[in-house]
Chain A
């Protein structure tokens, strides 16, 4: 797989975190997408802890959108898409695919739980 890293800065609750490689490296959560599910689809983060969501797809293009965090990205075949996030608010935040991918598209979703 050709790995092209797309770095996106999440607004609102996200801030630029330390480099992925280093003493203060953020935790990395790998999320794989395929029609019509994310694996894992339930993710627990800790408030204030810098995190990189590392997104890949097993089949076709999918979206990854968390409007409540003002965080979204396209997940393109052959690429690893990274989203940096430092949650600043506890709670449950739903994410979903916003690139139409077929008959189960409307149910392709997951949840990030941010704990204090």
Chain B
């Protein structure tokens, strides 16, 4: 079962300029569940910075937007426990030397983030042309797990295979990892492409994503954060919530709203429209995630 969430029911405007979206761990907003052995914490999700992209009609500040995002994250009143990039850190290139240069520049820019821990994931632009080899030299493994304050995070790579697949070997790895978790464990999945068929007509899907969802389905508290589609989207597959993030380079239109999958042109009257990042608050006592959406702005302050 898949369900689009009616955002109007859940969104509230904040006085500090962000937009809040509440997502409970079991996908039932507002439902109170027993308190688990978790602690409140923040993390920031940034995505699709496409460093190296050029196109003034789409983003005349292509060399400045990521830098502004870093400054904005650093201006958050509450420091995040960690920052995660969910893929497409760089714009793809056939030239390995250019790819290395872009990844190095990206690394230098995000090293300014005021966060002790910054985690990375590849997108197809980073990894699909060389099966993630260059990416791994700079950022390490393309799939991994870590635990933070009672939440088990699983980073799934669905881009190193250029067919947009997770692959049997990684699915076995996922199965083995989940076998170590209790059914009521708090699980967050980080990935690049949507695991569900959001809009296959625009390649917004993972070819074997349904297999990953099947493995996750027995677990009561699963939330997925991903990128790739360059806009917010909130979707349910059964009790599993999926939240996509905005891009830091070029916004895309809603699925199927235009004949072709093309970036939304830059608006001189509304610069940076559609670009942004999110801050995720894990609220242990209410078993929910509170999502704060922050737009990029010329002042580079939230």
**Chain A residues within 8 Å of B, Cβ to Cβ:** 61, 63, 65, 67-68, 74, 94, 96, 98-103, 105-107, 109
A94 in contact with B163 given A100-B124, A103-B92 (CB within 8 Å): no
Cα distance A65–B204 in the bound complex, in angstroms: 12
Whether A61 lies near B92 (C-beta < 8 A) is: no
Write out the residue numbers on chain A whose beta carbons fall within 8 Å of the beta carbon of B129: 100, 102
Q: Which 10 A-B pairs have the closest CB atoms?
A: A100-B128, A67-B200, A100-B162, A100-B124, A67-B201, A99-B162, A98-B203, A103-B92, A99-B163, A106-B261
Known: A67-B200, A102-B94. 8 other contacts (CB 8 A): A65-B203, A67-B201, A96-B201, A98-B163, A100-B164, A102-B129, A103-B93, A103-B94
Number of interface residues of B (CB under 8 A): 19
Whether B92 lies near A102 (C-beta < 8 A) is: yes
**Chain B residues within 8 Å of A, Cβ to Cβ:** 91-94, 124, 128-129, 159, 162-164, 200-203, 207, 260-262
Interface of A is mostly: mixed
A94 in contact with B203 given A103-B93, A106-B261 (CB within 8 Å): no
Q: Can you list 25 contacts pairing A with B, beta carbon distance less than 8 Å?
A: A61-B162, A63-B163, A65-B200, A67-B200, A67-B201, A68-B201, A74-B163, A96-B202, A98-B163, A98-B203, A99-B163, A100-B92, A100-B129, A100-B159, A100-B162, A100-B164, A102-B92, A102-B129, A103-B91, A103-B94, A105-B92, A105-B124, A106-B203, A106-B261, A107-B262
